[in-house]
Amino acid sequence: MAYYIFVGGGVMSSVGKGAATASIGKILQGRGFKVSAMKIDPYINVDAGTMNPIEHGEVFVTNDGTECDQDVGNYERFLNINLNTENYMTTGRVYQTVIQKERNLEFQGKCVEVVPDIPNEVISRIEKAGKKDKADFVMIEIGGTVGEYQNLLFLEAARMMKLKYPKKVLFVLVTYLPTLKIIGEMKTKPTQTSARLLNEAGIQPDFILGRASSPLDEPRKRKISIFCNLDPKDVISAPDVDSIYQIPINFEKDGLGNRIMKKLGLKSRKQDMKEWDKLVNTIQKKKEVIKIGIVGKYFETGGFSLMDSYISVIESVKHAAWANNKEAKIQWLSAQKFETGDKKELAKLKEYAGIIVPGGFGIRGTEGKIKVIEYLRKNKIPFLGLCLGMQLAVIEFARNVCGIKDATSREFDAKANNPVIDLMEEQKELMKNHKYGGTMRLGSWDCEIKSGTISAKAYKEKIISERHRHRYELNNDYREQLIKKGLIVSGVNTKKDLVEIIELKDHPFFVAVQFHPEFKSRPLSPHPLFKEFVKVASK
């Protein structure tokens, strides 16, 4: 049977609970344990698939096609494992199951109640995930912040799980310690308040991870220890880091791994993180900088700009850069700026070693991206298109090389004369019936690579498997016409005859894919396509 470590947050959101959860998993993995992880999102949505990225951040996709929270991406990247639908739950999913069971008379005439029936369903899902992954440890991250109404039932589940397995469950509270500039002192009060709120939910934290701009000093640890009722050794520093991949090493520095062993009554084990240490050394080494631009639309929110929507793309670029002994400097380029085709604006693209046009939905920003792609094609600047990025590259090629002036995607114009990108056959009925949830072409699909292409050079494999998330595809009615004019179809799903990769000759790197390679890149095994892109771009 597995051990379960819950991770919850206090003080505020976005303090890096996901990276902390993954990092704790990593140090346990370093001790030879089999670790799995799961994310609990307290919203009603059944999955993240129907949410706007600005609202929610990136929608991560697993092998089995689960559209989930970006933290699942963190777990996969840190732990180098593949997760699936069992590793993700939302309030929506939990209620849906309980209500269905009630309709099926599975409660045998009993009154079905929020407590304990909802937490019991949560617990049974956690146990199932642990069993499926044959895990020694299951890391469970509870989204949101203690004290809010939304995640209360999940805290209740953690409490009840500890009651069920008193020696097998730990709770880690991740908080934030602010340092006000004018005072210059790191303050512990918000952390104390959060611990109290957790106590109110019936849970005493076993560890407090103090996120802060710098490591916690002894007086801070002592204060938290006294007020939050734990050993100062169980107050762990989580200072700001240049790279999130340093976090497991910082945790170890504060002795977290050994303390976990001790609390669970486990014999201490030798730890081996050689590969990880090597990675972190590479990250910290001074390296030549390579500038990569990402042209998107999901980063402006009010007066702030977010990078959450493209987190896997960013991480993939970083992984690939490290593998090429480079440091990636990533710059956001707002698609709308290029819409008018302003020459000065477009000329700025020359400052970049390479440009990525990532995935997206809807027409907004697409004309700007098409102008960018045209410029990259003509000026031989390395270009990597992802999902929507591929569809727009096809539209650009159809318009400007094949002379189909009104070429577009059915997504942007339902009455299009020349939909070179069209709705997939099996999507038509779904769209008519407004069936949007979890119905895209999702998850892993095979793709056959054409030899002698850039893709073949990058992948070095004939059959590859990549993760998808789309409803539209290259319209095969136009395929011959596009190929005749020089478009290379270098990857095809042969079962369905779907074009998965396109590229161009006489260009250092012009490759666009219908799938999302970014979901499979890991720091210890960077994605071949990103690696090749960065390699060419570095030249």
Residues annotated as part of the active site? 387, 516, 518
Q: Can you list the positions of beta strands (E) in 42-155?
A: 59-61, 67-69, 88-90, 137-145
Tell whether residue 361 is a contact of ligand GLN (CB under 6 A): yes
CB atoms within 10 A of CB 32: 11
Tell whether residue 319 is a contact of ligand GLN (CB under 6 A): no
How many residues at the interface with ligand GLN, by CB under 6 A?
Answer: 10
Backbone angles phi, psi at 495, to 5 degrees: -60, -45
Please report how close the Cβ of residue 539 comes to ligand GLN at its closest, in angstroms: 28
| Binding region for ligand GLN (CB under 6 A) out of 275-283, 335-343, 353-361, 489-497 | 353-361
| Cα three-residue angle 515-518-524, rounded to 5 degrees | 135
| Binding region for ligand GLN (CB under 6 A) out of 111-119, 256-264, 338-346, 357-365 | 357-365
72 vs 74: CA distance, rounded Å: 5
> What DSSP string describes 369-422?
HHHHHHHHHHTT--EEEETHHHHHHHHHHHHHTS--TTEEETTT-TT-SEEEEE
| Binding region for ligand GLN (CB under 6 A) out of 31-39, 134-142, 193-201, 358-366 | 358-366
CB contact burial 239-253 (16+ within 10 A = b; e otherwise) = eeeeebbbbbbbbbe
Backbone angles phi, psi at 331, to 5 degrees: -125, 135
Residue number closest to ligand GLN, CB atom = 359
Please report how close the Cβ of residue 272 comes to ligand GLN at its closest, in angstroms: 38
Tell whether residue 56 is a contact of ligand GLN (CB under 6 A): no
Please report how close the Cβ of residue 387 comes to ligand GLN at its closest, in angstroms: 3
Please report how close the Cβ of residue 60 comes to ligand GLN at its closest, in angstroms: 12
Tell whether residue 410 is a contact of ligand GLN (CB under 6 A): no
Q: Nearer Cβ to ligand GLN, position 67 or 121? A: 67
Please report how close the Cβ of residue 391 comes to ligand GLN at its closest, in angstroms: 6
CB atoms within 10 A of CB 344: 6
Q: Nearer Cβ to ligand GLN, position 78 or 519? A: 519
Please report how close the Cβ of residue 75 comes to ligand GLN at its closest, in angstroms: 21
Alpha-carbon radius of gyration of the chain: 25
169 vs 203: CA distance, rounded Å: 11
Of 58, 411, 500, 532, the residue at the interface with ligand GLN (CB under 6 A) is 411
Interface with ligand GLN in residues 236-275 (CB under 6 A): none
Please report how close the Cβ of residue 505 comes to ligand GLN at its closest, in angstroms: 25
Q: Under 8 Å CB-to-CB from 66, ≥6 apart: which residues?
A: 47, 72, 84, 85, 87, 88, 442, 443
Q: Nearer Cβ to ligand GLN, position 256 or 387? A: 387
Q: Nearer Cβ to ligand GLN, position 330 or 387? A: 387
Q: Nearer Cβ to ligand GLN, position 19 or 440? A: 440
Tell whether residue 360 is a contact of ligand GLN (CB under 6 A): yes
Element (H, E) at 534: helix 528-538
Please report how close the Cβ of residue 470 comes to ligand GLN at its closest, in angstroms: 3
492 vs 466: CA distance, rounded Å: 12
Binding marks (x or -) toward ligand GLN, 383..402, rule CB under 6 A? ----xx--------------
Q: Nearer Cβ to ligand GLN, position 248 or 359? A: 359
Q: Nearer Cβ to ligand GLN, position 31 or 469? A: 469
Of 65, 73, 248, 359, the residue at the interface with ligand GLN (CB under 6 A) is 359
- CB-CB contact of 7 with 24 (8 Å): yes
Q: Under 8 Å CB-to-CB from 358, ≥6 apart: which residues?
A: 294, 295, 296, 310, 313, 386, 387, 388, 389, 518
Q: Nearer Cβ to ligand GLN, position 58 or 121? A: 58
443 vs 497: CA distance, rounded Å: 17
51 vs 332: CA distance, rounded Å: 22
Interface with ligand GLN in residues 459-488 (CB under 6 A): 469-472
- CB-CB contact of 98 with 118 (8 Å): yes
- CB-CB contact of 469 with 451 (8 Å): no
Please report how close the Cβ of residue 444 comes to ligand GLN at its closest, in angstroms: 15
Tokens of 376: 């990259």
Backbone angles phi, psi at 450, to 5 degrees: -80, 130
Tell whether residue 376 is a contact of ligand GLN (CB under 6 A): no
Q: Nearer Cβ to ligand GLN, position 232 or 438? A: 438
Residues binding ligand GLN (CB under 6 A): 359-361, 387-388, 411, 469-472
